[in-house]
Structure 1
Amino acid sequence: MAPAVGSRRGHLLWLTCMLCSAPARVAADSLVGNLVVTQNSSLPWPSSYLTRMGLKVSFLLHDPSDFFKSASFLYSWDFGDGTLMVTEDPVVYYNYSIIGTFTVKLNVVAEWEQARLDATKGIVQKTGDFSTSLKLQETLQGIQVLGPTLIQTFQKLTLTLNFLGSPPLTVCWRLKAECLPLEEGECQPVSVASMAYNLTHTFRDPGDYCFSIRAENVISKSHQYHRVQVWPSSLQPAVFAFPCATLITVMLAFIMYMTLRNATQQKDMVENPEPPSGVRCCCQMCCGPFLLETHSEYLEVVRENHGLLPPLYKSVKTYTV
């Protein structure tokens, strides 16, 4: 009975050892850990970082029992912008030069030697894939204004503002006589969620104006100015200049003509007053012989006025006895 009891105890002891080592075997089946990204800046948005500033990306392996203490690791990095990197160190430093949202991917391979049942040693390999999302932003470095600098009144002016920085932005603008910075509360802010913004305005009065523009995000702010010269609408198109000048010239000539004509008529009435047409006709018929110089002129006047009347003088018949 003793051997049986001993063998039974040995079997139970073997099962106990197997159960004790089970968590370590489960942990060894896959790598457990996470990626940690840090930067010497503080932004209020989650997972947001600045461009052109060094990022520290670290892989932290979860191994409380030191199961992988004798393992060697190989790290394959993919920063999402086309940059690949292979290191033996779990910590890398990287700079993003453009804004956007990127996903950092990491493949970790762990290798170590392990004794086999036949007393030989073999290479054991475990892998794990990890990733994290990053939102890269940049400071507002300036504002580019595109639009005309000369316009006429009652025309719609459109300016395009291109922001050299990361949205979201707060944009504020106002028209001034001089290009001066905007004070706090001087204009109504507008929220902009893109890299460009269209500003429209219609001028009613001519003059020189200056658009004072301010844009800012939580990182920084920037000012920009744009001068505009406004001309009256009636002076701008030259196509109306010639017709207007011609019309004014014709009107002046007509006025001068009418003035000279009235003056001439008044002078003629004072120097040579004429009776009405009826009186003149009657005078030509009745007083013609006295007013006309010759008899032929008198006959010509009578012929014109009474062409159908018989001649005033008849031929005298001569009889011979």
Structure 2
Amino acid sequence: MIILHTLHWVQFAGTEKVCVDLCNELSKEHTVYLLTNEKIKPYLEENVNFIELDFEKNRYNPFFLYKVAKIVEKINPDVIHIHNTKELEIMYNARFFMKKKVPIIGSRHNPVVKKKFSLADLGVAVSEETRIYTNAKRNITILNGIPFKEVREFENKNKFTIVGVGRLAQVKGFHTLINALSKVNFDFKLNIVGEGEQKEELLNLIKSLKLENKIELVGFVRNVQDYIYNSDLQIISSSEEGLSLALIEGIFYARVLVATDIANHKEILGEELVFDNRVDAFVNKLNDVYEDYKKYEKLFGKVKETKEEYSIEKMVKQYVEAYKSLIK
């Protein structure tokens, strides 16, 4: 099967990681092309055919659409898999210049309504909650999955270590987490792994609360699994998610994980591992985990038994079946 993936590059975060993992795994048995920004190349396996294309502008420019159509016709894919609504519009409109109308499948990564997503022939929601916002001609659910990676031990850990993983953006709730940690009754070290537009704001908040020696913005890393594995606690502080990759990574690697009561967190984790999205609720949960750690290890241990539900192999198998359903 020849599969063309398209991605409107913003930065390497959740959507980009899903796309990369899917392309890499699919390329083991299928011919895979990816149209996106060249910044993604270091993350791709050699088998993935990369073609640079900027989806940021020219969405309605007929000359650009014609160029895209010629690229697609040269690849001659069986299916086009888009990961953002912007390039969905481009691919849909470019079909005007194509002899063959290649079917378009789109992944809905976030619980936000996008009217133009209705242009997709098949929509894939990454969770049942996200499916409510998935409005293609036909819609299904395929849970995100990740490839398992080996972990290594860090040295000289002498504090209760907490990790937060995600893009540095308001929706990820790191500002709430930092404010809450200024009020807890135990010593700690927090590592926030990720990059984003809120970096300076978060640095200023950390400084204003005099937490410079306790909180570090680590930035983007390739070995996020090591940070999760070497922490006593992973916390997801978001106010909005589809199916968080950080949550899945936690199920694979974390010792204990707690999360805000949004999306499908309660369904996956159970009531005792979720909490309200307020500073006082953060404080109470953090104190409780620290004081009764063995209890939370046991609770989360049951969740970790479900990790095979979120394997990259299972996700890819379901996507291949979805592709085949579109090919006449």
TM-score range, shorter chain: under 0.3
User: For the pair shown, which has the larger CA radius of gyration, 1 or 2?
Assistant: 1
TM-score, normalised to structure 1, is 0.19
- Report 1 or 2 for greater relative contact order, CA contacts < 8 Å, sequence distance ≥ 6: 2
**Which is helix-richer, 1 or 2?**
2
More strand by share: 1
